Amino acid sequence: MKSPGPRRRAGRLAPVPPTYLDDILAAHRARAGADRRDLAALLDAAVASPLPRDFAAALGREAGVGAAVIAEVKRRSPAKGPLDLDLDPAAVARAYEAGGAACLSVLTDAAFFSGSPADLAAARAACTVPVLRKDFTVGEADVCDARLMGADAVLLIVAALSDGELTALCTLARELELAALVEVHDEDELARALDAGAEMVGVNQRDLVTFAVDPGRAVRLAGSIPPECVGVAESGIRHVDDVRRLADAGYQGVLVGESLVRAPDRQGAVRALTGQRIGARRASPETGAPDAAAGTGRSRA
């Protein structure tokens, strides 16, 4: 598959400066290009592997119900450096689940995040909730690998993929009964995600160029997410007030990483974020999108 080329911004195709994402994607695409495994054999093995847990169902909540917390197992980040390089993924998973996490997210990228497929396997074996493979998916083999390592969902970053890639990977994830969390940063990327058939949309509040967090981004985009899609807010979520604000905007789930990994009491930190009631998705004055009540997502993405 071809690289998506220059990323789109503000409804037009425009070049942007190199970012941390460019380096990460270059490494992942180089690895994918060197992968000589037979895709048909990978697909057969993936289909024969144990069925995934239903990630989308764990998040597809009605308005008025408490927003789901997706708690992340993360050893380090390119921006913040080491968080807990020696963490025990199984112990962290048990603590998160005991605190009320609806799902887990586990980093499997080694070079930039110090994660691994072994981290995902250990975390999933230690809990009963669905698990997202948090990585940079660039090809069909990556989706197959997610199912083979025991993941229940994959991350598809719109800014990292062409329209053709995005559609193909959404389709393959659905065929393999994996949920796909399709990550966007603006209205244009949201439109591309929906055109590709996304049923679960994650709004990342971290800017790909500056790596700064815009805490208002998810709220601004909330009203543009169709009611049949599950909405997830990502990045910059630290306190219960953050979750309350995002749940009130209509997000059924929040993905929280750094603050939970750094917490002395991870179980208590998750518990403190749970129970915030989901409101209606409302248009912001900036988007002009029509009001939409938050609804349940379809069973698979």
Active-site amino acid positions: 72, 74, 134, 183, 204, 234-235
Question: Is 222 within 8 Å of 231 (Cβ atoms)?
Answer: yes
Instruction: Please enumerate in sequence order all residues whose Cβ is within 8 A of that of 86, keeping only pairs 6 or more positions apart, or say none.
Output: none
Distance CA 290, CA 5 (A): 32
**Phi, then psi, of 218 in degrees rounded to 5:** -65, -40
Distance CA 40, CA 100 (A): 39
For the chain, give the longest Cα–Cα distance: 50
**Phi, then psi, of 255 in degrees rounded to 5:** -105, 120
What burial letters (b/e) apply to 249-273, b meaning 16+ CB within 10 Å?
A: bbbbbbbbbbbbbebeebbebbbbb
Helix (H) or strand (E) segment spanning residue 43: helix 39-48
Of 64, 59, 66, residue with least CA distance to 293? 64
| DSSP bridge partners of 12 | 9
